[in-house]
Amino acid sequence: MSPRKDVMQLQRRTLLAGAAATVLAAPSLLRAQPAAFRFGLTPVFLDNDWQLLEYLRSHLSAEMRQPIVFVQRRTYQEVTALLLMGKIDAAWLCGYPLLQNLDRLAALALPLWQGAPHYQARIITAARRTVHDLADLRGDIHAYSDPDSNSGHLVTLSELLLRQQRPEDFFARSFFTYGHRNVVRAVARGLAQSGSVDGYVWDAMRRTEPELVEQTRIVWESEDFGFPPIAVTREAFETAQSRRLWVALEAMLRTDAGRRALEMLQLDGFVPPEAQSFDRIAARMKIVAERG
């Protein structure tokens, strides 16, 4: 055999040995990489700004020691379904879809806003209108946020029922904007005469989009409700992964990225939910359910 052929055979054997070693090593390499944590975001999320998402991703991935993937959808129903099917690991939900699926979902943490884990539902109208109460909005074109939103739908329906009004007849027309910010925009721009909105979002937008919010004003405000929670499935609640998520959320004030994310969200941190956190939402649900 010629020297050239000897060299070529040696090179071929070396390449095959290297390829075989790579194939054998691949499973261990894969095991060394932790799976991504899939975090669902819904219209309760104030801002989809990429910088905010990067601060959140940076903080959570460092604290949880695994990659973070944000899964964003347009409706509460879509994100809730992904969580129930195990397609995501946690989600920032509204208290209403949480209670609708209380046999399968649990609240892991509540955000603190203005020092408390509470918020209010608000009904807004154009700033120039001379109306003073929900009763004055009869015949309006009304903007709701989402069918599964507490502040953006359920509270208004239940409040009308408490006042012996038929929601389907009270407003001349209503529509869903699929986002609390979109409700504010719809009212400010005259697409709707009034709207049902999350009080946290309306207040936060006063800082981020003051020119827009100044074109609206509050007509009616509800009692306090438990703030939209970070939710997981009941099966996952006691897992190490959920524990890591809770520890990471609780630690947000202790890292630069966490503090920056909270500042952009205008939140003060996260706390564990209390047993009665969502009792008032449950009471509103009961009013609508009893109506049939």
pLDDT tens-place string over residues 71-98: 999 899 999 999 999 999 999 999 999 9
- In the prediction, which pLDDT does 29 show? 44
**What is the structure's pLDDT at 45?**
61
Query: What tokens appear for 56 in the block?
Result: 């959140």
Strands 37-41 and 173-176, sheet pairing? unpaired
DSSP 116: B
Distance CA 125, CA 101 (A): 32
Mean pLDDT of 236-250: 97
Give the separation between CA 199 and CA 190, rounded to whole angstroms.
Answer: 20
User: What is the reported pLDDT for 291?
Assistant: 85
- Of the pLDDT bands very low, low, confident and very high (cuts 50, 70, 90), residue 8 is very low
- Domain spans, the chain: 37-115+227-275, 118-226
**C-alpha span between 187 and 162 (Å, rounded):** 25
17: confidence class by pLDDT, cuts 50, 70, 90: very low
CATH class of 118-226: alpha beta
- Please state, in angstroms and rounded to a whole number, the distance separating the CA atoms of residues 98 and 267: 21
Predicted local distance difference test score (pLDDT) of residue 117: 98
Q: Provide mean pLDDT across the span 202-215.
A: 95
pLDDT of residue 23: 41
Residue 34 has pLDDT above 90, yes or no: no
Q: How far apart are CA 68 and CA 54, in angstroms?
A: 10
What are residue 220's DSSP bridge partners? 123
pLDDT of 7: 37
Q: Long-range contact list for 49-56, CB < 8 A, 24+ apart?
A: 49/264, 51/264, 52/261, 52/264, 52/265, 55/257, 55/258, 55/260, 55/261, 55/264, 56/257, 56/261
Q: Do domains 37-115+227-275 and 118-226 have the same CATH topology?
A: yes
- DSSP E strand stretches across the chain: 37-41, 68-72, 90-92, 105-112, 118-126, 141-144, 173-176, 194-198, 216-226, 230-233, 269-271
Please state the φ and ψ torsions of residue 111, each to the nearest 5 degrees.
-70, 150
Residue count of the chain, please give it: 292
Residue 31 has pLDDT above 70, yes or no: no
Report residue 47's pLDDT band, with 50, 70 and 90 as the boundaries.
Answer: low
Its CATH class, for the domain covering 37-115+227-275, is: alpha beta
As a whole number, the mean pLDDT across the chain is: 90
pLDDT (0 to 100) of residue 115: 95
168 pLDDT above the threshold of 60: yes
- Residues 28 and 30: their CA atoms lie apart, in Å, by 5
Mean pLDDT over 60-79 rounds to: 95
